[in-house]
Amino acid sequence: MWRQKQIQYMWLRTLMGRYEDFDAVTEASFRYTCDALDLRCDSTIVKRMMDVYLNLAPAPEAAEALEALRGYRRAILSNGSRRMLTQLVQNTDLDQVFEQLISVDEIKIYKPHPRVYELAAKSLHVEPWQIGFVSSNFWDVSGAASYGFPVFWINRRNAQPDPLGFAPNAVLNRLIELPAAIVQENAKARSGNSRRTKALSS
């Protein structure tokens, strides 16, 4: 319920033009969940649960996959706040891995609005087709594909894709499959219109 309300509040605030950052939305959705389930929700509990987002554990193979992608420009495009992203990559020893941390705070609109994906292309100074976009959320996959990114869906749980009219370029079970998938996608691009992925964003 917490995660569902968190996403719902981000989308509703985008539609209403009433942006609040990720931390505020996440806390509001947590408090709603506690009230709905009649759970205790004092300031100590709220802080402890919010701090979880600063210490999220990467997927077991994330470090290996990111190292294999060293030849690409690596960036994060997130609905998370700038503060959260900075602390998170520091706490998980990934602060030297990513070239840029791109937050929706800059435009105050949440994914999957097209302006968010446009922000990535502008921040990295590349064309949309040069960004290989990686996500485990199909709504994010759809938004990125709609904007024009080549998209790689990490579908660990064999989820059913939503019929939104867009499909990923590749569906992968784990991040470690990503480097080979990008090589394959670039090979297809070379045989077609010579457009190749240069940067990764998720």
CATH of the domain at 28: 1.10.150.240
Contact 152, 178 (CB under 8 A): yes
- 85 and 30, same structural domain? no
Same structural domain, 41 and 140 = no
Q: How far apart are CA 92 and CA 94, in angstroms?
A: 6
Q: What is the pLDDT of residue 190?
A: 79
Kindly state whether residues 49 and 70 are assigned to the same domain: no
The pLDDT of residue 75 is 97
Range of the domain at 49: 2-53
Q: Are 169 and 150 in contact (CB under 8 A)?
A: yes
Question: Does residue 178 share a domain with residue 95?
Answer: yes
Shared domain check, 79 and 165:
yes
Give pLDDT tens digits along the chain (202 positions): 999 999 999 999 999 999 999 999 999 999 999 999 999 999 999 999 999 989 999 999 999 999 999 999 999 999 999 999 999 999 999 989 999 999 999 999 999 999 999 999 999 999 999 999 999 999 999 999 999 999 999 999 999 999 999 999 999 999 999 999 999 998 888 777 656 676 676 7
Q: How high is the pLDDT of residue 47?
A: 94
The β-bridge relationship of strands 100-103 and 151-154 is: unpaired
**Nearest alpha-carbon partner for 139 in 173, 105, 116:** 116
The answer to whether 123 and 100 are in contact (CB under 8 A) is: yes
User: What phi and psi, each to the nearest 5 degrees, are found at residue 102?
Assistant: -105, 115
Considering the entire predicted model, what is its pTM?
0.91
Distance (Å, whole) CA 30 – CA 48: 11
Residues 9, 100, single domain; the answer is: no
Collapsing DSSP to helix, strand or coil, 85 comes out as: helix
Tell me whether the omega of the peptide bond preceding residue 179 falls within 30 degrees of 0, making it cis.
no
CA pair distance 3, 112, nearest whole angstrom: 16
pLDDT at residue number 195: 65
Output the pLDDT for position 129.
Answer: 94
* pLDDT at residue 145, rounded to an integer: 98
For the chain, the domain total comes to: 2
pLDDT at 30: 97
Residue 44: CB partners within 8 Å, gap ≥ 6?
none
